Amino acid sequence: MIIHVVRQGDVLWRIADYYKTDIDSIVEVNALPDPDRLLVGQALLIPTGDNIYTVRQGDTAWKIAQNHGVAVQDLLWENRILNPNNLYVGQKLIIPEKPKPEIEVNGFTYILGQDAVPVVNQVGDLLTYLTPYAYLIQGNGNLVPIDDEAAIGEAIAHGAVPMMSIVNFTVNSAGENVANMVLNNPETVNILQNNILDIMRDKGYQGLNIDFEYVLPEDREAFNRFIESTVDRLHSEGYFVSTSLAPKVSAEQRGLLYEAHDYEASGRLADFVVLMTYEWGWRGGQPRAISPINEIERVLDYAVTVIPRDKILMGFQIYARDWTLPFVPGQEAETISIEDAMDRAYAHNAQIQYDYVAQSPFFRYSDEEGNAHIVWFEDARSAQAKFDTVKEYGLRGISYWGLGYPFTQNWVLLADNFDIRKL
Query: Phi/psi of residue 149, each to 5°?
Result: -60, -40
Which residue out of 104, 154, 176, 213 is catalytically annotated?
Answer: 213
Residue 353: φ, ψ to 5° = -110, 165
Known catalytic membership, residue 213: yes
d(CA 167, CA 215): 11
User: d(Cα 404, Cα 108) in Å, to the nearest integer?
Assistant: 9
Which among 87, 71, 68, 149 has a CA at the least distance from the CA of 115? 149
Alpha carbons within 13 angstroms on the beta-carbon side of residue 346 total: 13
C-beta separation of 40 from 4 below 8 A: no
Runs of H (alpha helix) within 31-115: 61-67, 72-78
**Could you tell me the end-to-end alpha-carbon distance of the chain, in angstroms, rounded to an integer?**
27
Residues contacting 387, CB < 8 A, separation 6+: 398, 413, 414, 417, 418
| CA angle, residues 161, 164, 165, in degrees to nearest 5 | 135
Backbone torsions φ then ψ of 162, nearest 5 degrees: -75, 130
Cis ω on the peptide bond leading into residue 107 (within 30° of 0)? no
Q: Cα–Cα distance between 99 and 101 in angstroms, integer?
A: 7
Q: Which residues are catalytic?
A: 213
